[in-house]
Amino acid sequence: MAYGSSFDSDFNRSLMFRGFLTIAGIGLIAAALVMAAGTFARAQDDDDPFAGDAPAAAAPASSTPAPSAAVPAGDSQPTETGKNYLVWMFSALGWVFAPVFILISLTTVALVVMNFLSIRQKVLVPKELAEEFGELMDNKNFNGAYQLAKENDSLLGRVLAAGLHKIPNGYDKAVQAMQDVGQQETMRLEHQIGYLALIGNLAPMVGLFGTVTGMINSFQIIAAGGSAPSPQKLAEGIATALFTTMIGLAIALPSLAIYDILKNRLARFVLEIGVISDTYLGRFSSTAKK
């Protein structure tokens, strides 16, 4: 039954991973559509022959100037942006940085959800198992306690089952078996949450790369434009530099914070497993000494 439970657990993790990859693919497609819509709208604005200044109407024959229309004090002439903030951000990121940041952010969300589902009290240290196991051990029902721990797929169950299985060989062998199982599972979970730290260190570097790229583009426009470079082109390069930096930091900060939270949470559960196993199996140490 332990093999069946392990197979089900691996199958569920594989299913979750495929679901997260599907979500990432949908997010990339949606981002591509948003960027394409923004590019198309900007191209339409650039190609519109009526986008410039409207031709002035013929002046009236009278020499008296026509009174200008009153403009409310609170209203100002609308500025032509042509796109909202989200489209502007995607346009500034471009076809290189936007998919990269979307993929990194979706991977971060997937890792956060996966790790919070894996590092839980119910998954690692279920209280029901500890209580039932303690009752069976107090009643000297060691076989029942071993079967209960063996059939439970939690980390506590695997540790207790490994310890009881090695008890006939001596208490030291049982302790070593429990430590091996606990260290193996702890290393796997630490490796899993370690990807959050990797993203936390990688995202600012990607943002810094975008900063350098945007500033190079702006200086290239200044060098090619002479004394009067295009302010719009300069703004595009500066926007790329600033948006990449901002998004890189926005991804890195929560990734590192959640990594520390999950690491401390895992350490607390591992310590709790050590206390429970020592409480229930420590009684065999005195028997072994006798």
pLDDT tens-place values along the chain, 290 residues long? 333 444 345 445 554 555 555 555 555 455 444 444 444 444 444 444 444 444 444 444 444 444 444 444 444 444 444 567 778 777 778 888 889 999 999 999 999 999 999 999 888 999 888 888 888 888 888 888 888 888 888 898 899 888 888 888 888 888 888 989 889 989 999 999 999 999 999 999 999 999 999 898 888 888 886 667 778 888 888 888 888 999 999 999 999 999 999 999 999 999 999 888 888 887 776 554 44
Mean pLDDT of the chain: 75
pLDDT score recorded for residue 13: 53
pLDDT of residue 195: 94
Q: What is the pLDDT of residue 173?
A: 87
Burial of 62 (0-12, 13-18, 19+ CB in 10 A): exposed
Taking a C-beta distance cutoff of 8 angstroms, is the pair 178, 171 a contact?
A: no
Q: What is the pLDDT of residue 3?
A: 36
Place of tokens 């260190």: 201
Predicted TM-score (pTM) of the model is: 0.68
For residues 113 and 267, the answer to whether their CB atoms sit within 8 Å is no
Q: Given the structure tokens 């009684």, which residue do they identify? A: 283
Distance, in Å, from the CA atom of 68 to the CA atom of 131, rounded to the nearest integer, reads: 85
Alpha helices (H) in 167-230, listed in sequence order: 171-225
**Could you give the CA distance from residue 93 to residue 207 in angstroms, rounded to a whole number?**
10
**The pLDDT of residue 17:** 52
The C-alpha atoms of residue 110 and residue 117 are separated, in whole angstroms, by: 11
pLDDT at res. 103 = 93
Q: Give residue-wise pLDDT tens across range 169-200.
A: 888 888 888 989 889 989 999 999 999 999 99
pLDDT of residue 83: 60
In whole angstroms, give the CA distance from residue 239 to residue 227: 21
